[in-house]
Structure 1
């Protein structure tokens, strides 16, 4: 399942990230925030407008906003 499909509040672990789908600068920023294989995450909430962007991702003690397009490049497994 990709991160954009994960239900709100459901704990998951990142299995893989398709870095080729992301611009190099965006990939580096996500890696710097700890978004990489093995990280435990959950969706805190989603935007309310048309594309439901952004997605608020909880990782550790941080909350990070991601675009839905970035979330589609992240494969997760439900815990």
Structure 2
């Protein structure tokens, strides 16, 4: 699942970074990694911009960042256990 698809409030962790947007190159992925978007780090979309779009307010670890959708589609996440159960019951 991509970070851009993660439901607001759902708990997940970063699985990997991968270029999926023509707007971002390897240097941009490196900057995301330097901000803390590293495999295994906990991540949560806290809030979305107007109309459910961008920017996305994202917690990674203990830090809050605003990301564009072009950045969020480059971050693959995996839902945490409780979130998987809730998603399966919906």
Name 2:88's counterpart in structure 1: none
Matched, 1:65 2:79: no
SS of residue paired to 1:75 = strand
Query: Normalised by the size of structure 2, how large is the TM-score?
Result: 0.75
Deviations 1:12-67 (A, max 9, x none): 01111104753243222211111121111000101105x71111110122101111
Query: Normalised by the size of structure 1, how large is the TM-score?
Result: 0.85
| Root-mean-square deviation over aligned CA pairs | 1.8
Name 2:2's counterpart in structure 1: 2
Aligned structure 1 segments of 4 or more residues deviating by more than 6 angstroms: none
Equivalent residue pairs, number? 78
Deviation at 1:4, TM superposition (A): 0.4
Instruction: Name whichever of 15-24 and 25-34 sits farther off.
Output: 15-24
SS of residue paired to 2:71 = helix
Tell me, in whole angstroms, the C-alpha distance in 2 between the residues paired with 1:62 and 1:68: 18
Contact 2:16 2:39 in 1 (8 A): yes
Q: Which structure 1 segments of 5+ residues have no match?
A: none
Q: Which structure 2 segments of 5+ residues have no match?
A: 81-90
